[in-house]
């Protein structure tokens, strides 16, 4: 059951609206092939130029689109609609595609930004109101370009990246599978499932040596959540039992202990607030597929991690520009 409330929706929207149009500070992700490539964020990315970096701008627009659909009467709804109207235009989409089509942009934001762009499109595809359908139609060419990038890349990707940061294969697959379902892209869904099965199906007895000092994802739990979405329930249950066989004893202990965050003005250390929120999201999702005897333990772990991360969404801009999206995942993902 969703834990979102209209009050939280208003708070999250306020946070996101405060940075999606804040151009600086900004961390660009591009390869310079000559002086002509030097330009500011707004010139390079006519939609996603705020929020410190491109992928944070993408998932902050996902947050706004989701809140607008789920809570149409939320405080600030008019400002959300105005921002999405301003962002999602044919001209702006053409500008984003132009950057993407540069030969030097082949690996741009792979796979994290790819996944989040598709997650945003999945949200728009579910809209049952005129503005949402218009936004979905406008952004669809950009989403299809990223879906094709997954299709082109996956046959060459023989190995996963098992990290707790942007390079995580499992997390990107979770996001992209949401799009494949919403957009009825059967070819992409099949490619993602095949790669996930090839990479993760034989994994067992996960030691969960985490977190690292800059994780915002749990390598163990996002892999489990990815496989929950890839495998049918009758196959996921034995896989999960092999992968984390000692959950009934609260082990690996590292997965049950919220991370400590010592300096929220340090962008890498601030990642750990996101780890607590993303673990809460994973534990909550996995509890629904776990044996009944395990569910109270997993849900308690979700609550502990949520309590550790939720109070710090706007403690410093290093977390403020992205943490609310992960809080929304933890509180409302899967509730449609």
> What is the per-residue pLDDT across 75-130, written as a single tens digit (0 to 9) for each?
999 999 999 999 999 999 999 999 999 999 999 999 999 999 999 999 999 999 99
At residue 335, the pLDDT reads: 83
Domain-embedded: residue 97: no
Tell me which residue range forms the domain holding 324.
206-217+244-336
Number of separate domains in the chain: 1
Domain-embedded: residue 213: yes
Q: Is the pLDDT of residue 329 over 90?
A: yes
213 secondary structure, DSSP code: T
* Summary mean pLDDT of the chain: 97
Domain-embedded: residue 281: yes
Left (φ > 0), alpha (ψ -120 to 50) or beta: where does 52 sit?
A: left
Domain-embedded: residue 121: no
Q: Is the pLDDT of residue 1 over 70?
A: no
Helices marked H in the chain — which ranges? 6-17, 41-44, 54-70, 77-87, 90-100, 112-125, 130-153, 169-182, 186-200, 219-230, 233-243, 253-256, 271-287, 295-309, 317-320, 323-332
Domain-embedded: residue 254: yes
For 18-77, how does the pLDDT look when each residue is reduced to its tens digit (9 = 90+)? Answer: 999 999 999 999 999 999 999 999 999 999 999 999 999 999 999 999 999 999 999 999
Domain-embedded: residue 197: no
At residue 336, the pLDDT reads: 81
What's the pTM? 0.98
For 169-204, how does the pLDDT look when each residue is reduced to its tens digit (9 = 90+)? Answer: 999 999 999 999 999 999 999 999 999 999 999 999
Dihedral of CA atoms 33, 153, 329, 278 in degrees, nearest 10, equals -90
Q: Are 149 and 124 contacting, i.e. CB atoms less than 8 angstroms apart?
A: no
At residue 96, the pLDDT reads: 98
At residue 210, the pLDDT reads: 96
Phi, psi dihedrals of residue 285, rounded to the nearest 5°: -70, -45
Domain-embedded: residue 296: yes
Domain-embedded: residue 185: no
């Amino acid at each position: 059951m969703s834990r979102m409330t209209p009050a939280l929706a208003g708070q999250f929207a306020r946070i996101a609206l405060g940075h999606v149009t804040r151009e600086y500070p900004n961390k660009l992700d591009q390869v310079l092939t000559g002086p002509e490539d030097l330009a500011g964020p707004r010139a390079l990315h006519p939609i996603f130029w705020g929020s410190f970096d491109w992928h944070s701008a993408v998932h902050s627009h996902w947050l706004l689109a989701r809140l607008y659909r789920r809570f149409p009467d939320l405080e600030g709804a008019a400002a959300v609609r105005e921002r999405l109207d301003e962002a999602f235009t044919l001209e702006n989409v053409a500008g984003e595609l132009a950057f993407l089509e540069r030969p030097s942009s082949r690996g741009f934001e792979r796979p994290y930004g790819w996944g989040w762009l598709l997650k945003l499109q999945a949200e728009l595809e579910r809209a049952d109101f005129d503005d949402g359908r218009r936004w979905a139609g406008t952004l669809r060419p950009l989403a299809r370009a990223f879906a094709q990038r997954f299709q082109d890349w996956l046959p060459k990707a023989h190995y996963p990246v098992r990290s707790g940061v942007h390079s995580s294969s499992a997390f990107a697959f979770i996001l992209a599978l949401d799009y494949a379902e919403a957009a009825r892209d059967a070819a992409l869904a099949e490619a993602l499932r095949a790669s996930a099965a090839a990479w993760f199906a034989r994994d067992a007895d996960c030691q969960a040596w985490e977190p690292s000092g800059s994780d915002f994802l749990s390598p163990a739990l996002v892999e489990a959540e990815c496989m929950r979405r890839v495998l049918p329930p009758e196959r996921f249950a034995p896989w999960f039992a092999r992968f984390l066989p000692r959950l009934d004893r609260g082990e690996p202990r590292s997965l049950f202990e919220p991370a400590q965050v010592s300096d929220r003005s340090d962008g890498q250390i601030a990642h750990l607030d996101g780890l607590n929120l993303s673990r809460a999201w994973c534990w909550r999702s996995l509890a629904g597929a776990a044996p009944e005897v395990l569910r109270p333990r997993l849900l308690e772990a979700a609550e502990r991690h949520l309590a550790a991360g939720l109070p710090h969404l706007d403690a410093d801009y290093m977390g403020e520009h992205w943490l609310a999206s992960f809080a929304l995942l933890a509180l409302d993902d899967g509730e449609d």
